[in-house]
Structure 1
Amino acid sequence: MSSPSGSRAIPPKKPVEHDFAASLAASFRASSPLAQEVLARDLAECSDEEDDVDGAGAGLEEGDSDCDDETPGPTLYRRPSGIAFGTTRPALSLGPGGLTDEPRLTRAEREQSRDAERSLLRDNHIIPPKHQHPPQQRQGPLASLYKRVFSTKVPRRVMDDEMPPPPQIVIRPSETEPLLGDRVQRVPTHEHLNHQWEAAVRAGQIKTTWQREAKTIAVYSRSLIVTFLLQYSLNVTSIFAVSRLGTRELGAVSLAAMTANITCYAPIQGLVTSLDTLCAQAYGSGHKTLVGLQLQRMTYFLFLLLVPIAVVWLNAEPILASMIEPESAKLAASYLRIIVLGTPGYAAFEGGKRFVQAQGLFHVTTYVLLVAAPLNVLLNWLFVWHFGWGFTGAPVAVAMTQSLLPVLLFLYVWRVDGSQAWGGFRRAALKNWGPMIRLALPGMIMVLAEWFAFEVLTLASGRLGVSFLAAQSVLVTVTATTFQIPFPLSIAGSTRMANLIGANLVDAAKTSARVTIVGGVLVGMFNLTLLASLRYKIPLLFSHDPEVIELVAQTLPVCAIMQLFDGMAAVSHGLLRGVGRQEFGGYANLVTYYLVALPISFGLGFGLDWKLTGLWIGVTVGLCLVSLVEYWFIWQSDWHQAAKDAEHRNASG
C-alpha cells in the first residue's frame, strides 16, 4: 500500500459484517481483512494530520535496513515468537503464528537468514565447507561416535540414495584474479547465495538432520523459558510469601488469583492478541509510527474496560461468600481491592510488549523482568514479613510490581531502542475502534475459555473445604510453573517449522516437528519424575499444615502423569501454529475441556467423592485426548499445501 502523502486517500468502504465463526477463524490469520481494514483506515486518517503525513512518508528512514538491501528478502529466518502470559496456562497461544504476522526483518536479521541458509547449503555439501581441512587419518571409535551424534551434516549416503547431484552455480573469476595457479575455493556472495539456495530448494536438495533441529530449537527456546519463568515468578512469589501465614491465607490467595485471572488478566491478554496482528502489519507496511497508534488505541480501550472490573473487585466479598466460606472470601476480596491499583500497569505492559515485539525487540521483555522479578521478591519479603503487614503485604507488592513494569519498558524504549515506532500521541487513537474490537474479541473468547476450564477447578475445590482450597493452590502453582518449560519449547518448534515451511522445505519441517515432539515428551518425562519423586517435599515449600501436605502428596502422582500429556499437548498446539491451522486447536480445546475434561472431573471429584484426585484425573484425560486428536490432525494435514498457502501469504504480504 502506497503512502498517503502524495494524495488524499479514499476512505475504505463500510466493513462487511461477518458471522461469529468466520470472525473467529479470521482472528487467527495475520492477513485477515479486519487487520487490512484497520491499516487502510489509519493511513487515510493520517493523511488528515500533517505531522502524521511526515511520519508516514518517513516510515523508512534513510539507511533503514528494511529497504537498503537490493538482494531478495530471506525466506528462512523468523524470530521465535511468543510472549510470557504471566499467570497460569492458556493452552493455545493466539499470539504470533510464525507464518504470517512477522514484521519486516532488519539488516541483522537478514544476515542471520543468510547465515542459516549458507549453513544448510554447507551441511548438504552444496557449497564448500567454511574451513578446508587436510585429509585426516582414520578416526577412533570415540571420535566417530561424537561426530555421528553431534555433527549437523547430512550423511553423504543419504544424499547419494535420495537425491541427484546438487545444482551448482558457477562463480566466474574476477578481473583481478590470476588465470593460472592455485585458486582458493570461493564462498558465494549474497547474490550467488540466493541463486544457489533457490536452485537447491527447487531441486529438493535441502535436507536437515535431527542434530541441527535440536540445536536450533534449543537456542530458540532457552531465552523464552527464562522469560516465561521470570514473569510467572511475579505471581508465585506472592503465593510463597502468604503460604506460611496459614492454611486459610493460602487458599484465599489462590481464590483471589483465580478471580483476577478470569475477570481481568485473561480478557486483557485475549484482547491484546489483536496487536500481534495489527502492530506487525503496521510495522511491515513501512509506516512504523502506526505501531504506536495501535498501542494507544488498545491501551485506551483496555483502560475503559478496567472501570467495570474495578467496580466488581471493590464489591467482590458478597459474590465470593456465596461460593465459599466467609472468612476465605473476606481475605480474597481484600486482596482484589488492593491489586486493582496495579491493573492499569498490567494492561499497559501487555500492550507495550506487543509494541516492542512488532519491531523485533523480543529481548526487551526479558531485560525488564530481570529487574522486576528480583525486586518483586524483595517487596514481598519487606511488606509481608519485615514490615509485618501480613496478608495485605502480598497484593501491595503485586500492585507495585505491575505498575513498575510499563515504566521500565518505557525507559528502555525511550533511552535504548524502540522509539522509532512511536509517533507521539494522536487524535486518531480515539477513532477506528470497531475493526480493532472485532479482531480482538475472538482472541479474548478463546483465551478466556481455556483459562476458565482450568481455573474453575479452583472454585470447585473451595466447596470441599479450606484445606482442599489450600492444597489446590499448591497444585495449580506447581503445575503452572512446570508448564513454563514445554510451552516455550512449543513456540520455538512452531517458529522453526514455520521457517522451513515458508521456505518450501517440507521434509525438513517434518524432521523439525519430530524433534519437537521428542523434546516435548522428554520435558514431560522430566517434570513427571520431578513431581513424583518430590511429592512429599514440594508441599513443604508452601505449608506446614499436615492435612494440606497429605492432600497435595496424594494428588501429585496424578499431576505428575498429567505432565507428560501437558508437554505433548503444548507441542501439538505449537505444530498446529507452525502449519497455520491453529484454529483447529482452539476448537479442539474448547470441545475437549468442556465436553470431556470438566464432566469427568466433576463426576469423579463429587459424584464418586474422589475429591482433588478426581478433579485432576479429568484434566489429565482431557489433555491426553486433545493431544492425540491434534497429532492425528497434523499427521493427516497436507504439509505441501501449507507450504503453498505460506507462499501465497508471503506474496500477498
Structure 2
Amino acid sequence: MDTNQETPLLTSKNVTTNAHFTGDADDINPIKGINDFFVQFGVESKKLWYLAGPAIFTSVCQYSLGAITQTFAGHVGTLDLAAVSVENSVIAGFSLGILLGMGSALETLCGQAYGAGQIDMLGIYMQRSWVILFVTALIMLPLYLFATPLLLLIGQTEDISHAAGKMALWMIPQLFAYAANYPIAKFLQAQSKIMVMAYISMVALVLHTYFSWLFMLKFEWGLAGGALVLDLSWWFMVIAQMIYIYSGTCGRAWSGFSLAAFSNLWGFVKLSFASAIMLCLEVWYFMALVLFAGYLKNAEIAVDALSICTNILGWAIMASIGFNAAVSVRVSNELGAAHPRTAKFSVVVVVISAFLVGVLFAILLGIFRHQYPALFADSLEVQKAVYSLTPLLAACLIINNVQPALSGVAIGAGWQAVIAYINIACYYIFGIPLGLCLGFAANWGVKGIWIGMLTGTVVQTTILIWICYRTNWDKEASMAEIRIRKWSGQKEVAGEQ
C-alpha cells in the first residue's frame, strides 16, 4: 500500500490558505452509524499497520540487541547479569531517554512538514537534530566515564557498581550511535520509509545474536565481548541507513549537507528540550524501578528478577513504540495536510489496536508462565522471584502498551511540553512516592514498588485519553500550519534555493 497515493500531499504551491485551514479536501467524512465506523476503522487500520508493522519489527530488533546481551550475561553469572541490567537501565537508559526525546522533536516537524509538502526541509531538520544530539552526547560523556562513583553515590552495592561502571566505559560508542541513529529514524519515518529500517535492523539482530554467543560464551570474553558486539551492532545500523539516504532514494528530502542546518538552532533546541523532558520522564520512570530494587534486602536477586521482567516488558513495549511511531506519522501528516477528522480517528484506531495487542501479550505470558523464567537465568532463586512477579508483569503488558501509543499522538500533534507536566505529576509526585511507601514502609518489597509505579502509569494514561477526547482537532490543524510556517518559512526556503 502506498500511503502517498491514499493521502495526497498539500504543497505550498498547490494549496490555498483557505483550503488548508478548513481541512475539507480528502479529510475523512463524519462517521454515521456502527457500520460506517467499522468500515472507516478497517481503512485506517490498513494505513496504521502499513507503518506500525515494520516499525514494531524494527523496534523489537533494536531493543533485542541489548536484551540479548543481557540474556547471555545471565548465563555468564548473576553479577554479570546485574551489571548489564544496571548499565542498560540506568546509564544507557538515562542516555537513551535524553537522546530519543531530543530526537522526537524531529518527529513533529518532519511529519507535519511532509504532510504540508515541504519535503526539502526534512534533510535540513535532520542535520540540525544531528548537531544538537552530538553536542548533547558530549555533555553526557562524564556519566559514562564516572559511572562507578555515581552508582555508589546513589546507593548501589560496590560489586554491582564496579562491574556496571566498567561496562559503561565499554559502551561509550553506543552513546554516539544513539545520537546519530534517532534523527535518521525520524527522518525516514516521516516519509513512511519504514521497511528499509526493518531490513537493516533484522540483519543487525541476526549478526548480533551469533557474535554475542561467540564472544560472550564460546570465547568466554564475558561482558567485554558483549559490549564490543553491542557497539558494533548499533553502528552497523547507523552506517547502513546513512548509505541508503545518501544513495538518493529519498529524493527531495535529502539534497546534501547545508549550512542552513546551523540556522535557528536555539529555537530547535527549545523544542527538542521539551520533547526530551516528556520522553525522559517516561524512560527514567522504569529505570527508577530497577534502581529502587537495588536498595532492597538481597539486592542482587531482586535486581536480577526485576530486570528479567523489565526485559520482557521492554520487548512488549516495542510493539507500542511501533504504534507510537505509526500514529505520530499519521497524526502529524494529517494535521500538516489539514485533515483534522482523519487525525482524530487515527487516535481512536491506535488506542483500540494497542489495547488488543497488550491483551494478547498478557494471555501468552499466562500460558508460558512456568517456562519463561528459565530462559533468562540459571539460578532457581531468581526464577522463583520472576514467577512471583508474573501477574504484575501481565498487567503492565496491557497498560504500557496503550500509554506509549498515546505519547505518539502527543508527539505528532506537538504537545510535548504539556505532557511533560502531566508526567511529572503522575509519575514523580504520585507514582514513585506511592511505590516507595508500599515497597519499604509497607514492606511489600519489589511488588509494592511496582504496584505503586504502575498506578502512576494508569493515572497518566487516563489523563492522556481524556485530553485526546477533549481536543479541538480543527484548531490543531491550524496550529500545525503556523508551526510549519515558523520552521520552514519563505525566507528559509528561499535561502536554500
TM-score, with length taken from structure 2: 0.81
- Give me the whole-angstrom Cα distance separating, in 1, the residues matched to 2:438 and 2:219: 44
Q: Which letter maps to 2:38?
A: W
- TM-superposed CA distance for 1:649, in Å, is 3.9
Matches within 5 A, 1:221-240: 221-240=52-71
Q: Per the alignment, do residues 566 and 199 of structure 1 end up closer, same or farther by CA in structure 2, a change over 3 Å counting?
A: closer
- Give me the whole-angstrom Cα distance separating, in 1, the residues matched to 2:357 and 2:202: 24
1:112 to 2:24 alignment: no
The partner residue of 1:261 within 92, 96, 102 is 92
- TM-superposed CA distance for 1:290, in Å, is 5.0
- TM-superposed CA distance for 1:272, in Å, is 1.9
Q: Per the alignment, do residues 410 and 489 of structure 1 end up closer, same or farther by CA in structure 2, a change over 3 Å counting?
A: closer
CA contact (8 A) 2:278 2:423 kept: no
Q: Which letter maps to 2:383?
A: I
CA contact (8 A) 1:206 1:505 kept: no
Q: Per the alignment, do residues 525 and 649 of structure 1 end up closer, same or farther by CA in structure 2, a change over 3 Å counting?
A: closer
Q: Which letter maps to 1:587?
A: Y
1:440 to 2:260 alignment: no
1:602 to 2:436 alignment: yes
- Give me the whole-angstrom Cα distance separating, in 1, the residues matched to 2:383 and 2:290: 17
Q: Which residue of structure 1 aligns with residue 401 of structure 2? A: 567
CA contact (8 A) 2:108 2:412 kept: no
- TM-superposed CA distance for 1:490, in Å, is 5.2
Q: Per the alignment, do residues 621 and 375 of structure 1 end up closer, same or farther by CA in structure 2, a change over 3 Å counting?
A: same
1:454 to 2:454 alignment: no
Q: Which moved more, 1:246-255 or 1:208-217?
A: 208-217
Q: Per the alignment, do residues 279 and 521 of structure 1 end up closer, same or farther by CA in structure 2, a change over 3 Å counting?
A: closer
Q: Which letter maps to 1:269?
A: L
- Give me the whole-angstrom Cα distance separating, in 2, the residues matched to 1:433 and 1:584: 22
Matches within 5 A, 1:38-49: none
| Percentage of pairs with the same residue | 25
- TM-superposed CA distance for 1:432, in Å, is 4.2
Q: Which residue of structure 1 aligns with residue 156 of structure 2? A: 324
1:210 to 2:49 alignment: no
**CA-to-partner distance for each residue in 1:341-361, whole Å, 9 max, x for gaps?**
232222112222233344443
- Give me the whole-angstrom Cα distance separating, in 1, the residues matched to 2:402 and 2:117: 39
- TM-superposed CA distance for 1:340, in Å, is 0.4
**CA-to-partner distance for each residue in 1:234-262, whole Å, 9 max, x for gaps?**
11111112111111111111101123334
Q: Which residue of structure 2 aligns with residue 623 of structure 1? A: 457
Q: Per the alignment, do residues 110 and 397 of structure 1 end up closer, same or farther by CA in structure 2, a change over 3 Å counting?
A: closer
Q: Per the alignment, do residues 239 and 525 of structure 1 end up closer, same or farther by CA in structure 2, a change over 3 Å counting?
A: same
The partner residue of 2:212 within 370, 380, 388 is 380
**CA-to-partner distance for each residue in 1:476-507, whole Å, 9 max, x for gaps?**
1011111122343355456667778877674x
CA contact (8 A) 1:576 1:585 kept: yes
Q: Which residue of structure 2 aligns with residue 273 of structure 1? A: 104
Give secondary structure in 2 for the equivalent of 1:484.
helix
Q: Which residue of structure 2 aligns with residue 418 of structure 1? A: 250
Q: Which residue of structure 2 aligns with residue 301 of structure 1? A: 132
The partner residue of 1:314 within 145, 148, 161 is 145
CA contact (8 A) 1:580 1:642 kept: no
Matches within 5 A, 1:339-488: 339-415=171-247, 417-418=249-250, 420-427=252-259, 429=261, 432-464=264-296, 465-488=299-322
CA contact (8 A) 1:210 1:512 kept: no
Q: Which letter maps to 2:295?
A: R
Q: Per the alignment, do residues 429 and 618 of structure 1 end up closer, same or farther by CA in structure 2, a change over 3 Å counting?
A: same
Q: Which letter maps to 1:213?
A: F
CA contact (8 A) 2:438 2:444 kept: yes
Q: Per the alignment, do residues 500 and 539 of structure 1 end up closer, same or farther by CA in structure 2, a change over 3 Å counting?
A: same
TM-score, with length taken from structure 1: 0.63
Length, aligned pairs only: 463
Q: Which residue of structure 2 aligns with residue 137 of structure 1? A: none
**CA-to-partner distance for each residue in 1:176-210, whole Å, 9 max, x for gaps?**
xxxxxxxxxxxxxxxxxx9xx96997996888332
The partner residue of 1:587 within 421, 441, 444 is 421
Give secondary structure in 2 for the equivalent of 1:485.
helix
CA contact (8 A) 2:60 2:318 kept: yes
Q: Per the alignment, do residues 527 and 317 of structure 1 end up closer, same or farther by CA in structure 2, a change over 3 Å counting?
A: same
Q: Per the alignment, do residues 623 and 430 of structure 1 end up closer, same or farther by CA in structure 2, a change over 3 Å counting?
A: closer
CA contact (8 A) 2:90 2:291 kept: no
- Structure number with higher relative contact order (C-alpha < 8 Å, ≥ 6 residues apart): 2
Q: Which residue of structure 2 aligns with residue 247 of structure 1? A: 78
- Give me the whole-angstrom Cα distance separating, in 2, the residues matched to 1:282 and 1:493: 16
Tell me how large the CA RMSD over aligned residues is.
3.5
**CA-to-partner distance for each residue in 1:283-322, whole Å, 9 max, x for gaps?**
7887866544443343233333333433331232222233
Unaligned runs of 5+ in 1: 1-78, 80-107, 116-193
Unaligned runs of 5+ in 2: 10-18, 486-497
CA contact (8 A) 1:234 1:398 kept: yes
- TM-superposed CA distance for 1:228, in Å, is 1.5
- Give me the whole-angstrom Cα distance separating, in 2, the residues matched to 1:358 and 1:219: 13
- Give me the whole-angstrom Cα distance separating, in 1, the residues matched to 2:313 and 2:449: 14
CA contact (8 A) 1:592 1:626 kept: yes
Q: Per the alignment, do residues 430 and 571 of structure 1 end up closer, same or farther by CA in structure 2, a change over 3 Å counting?
A: closer
Q: Which letter maps to 2:388?
A: Q
Q: Which residue of structure 2 aligns with residue 13 of structure 1? A: none
Give secondary structure in 2 for the equivalent of 1:244.
helix
Q: Which residue of structure 2 aligns with residue 529 of structure 1? A: 363
- TM-superposed CA distance for 1:370, in Å, is 2.2
Q: Which letter maps to 2:455?
A: V
- Give me the whole-angstrom Cα distance separating, in 1, the residues matched to 2:81 and 2:159: 12
**CA-to-partner distance for each residue in 1:53-79, whole Å, 9 max, x for gaps?**
xxxxxxxxxxxxxxxxxxxxxxxxxx9
- TM-superposed CA distance for 1:521, in Å, is 3.0
Q: Per the alignment, do residues 273 and 114 of structure 1 end up closer, same or farther by CA in structure 2, a change over 3 Å counting?
A: closer
- Give me the whole-angstrom Cα distance separating, in 1, the residues matched to 2:200 and 2:96: 19
- TM-superposed CA distance for 1:114, in Å, is 6.5
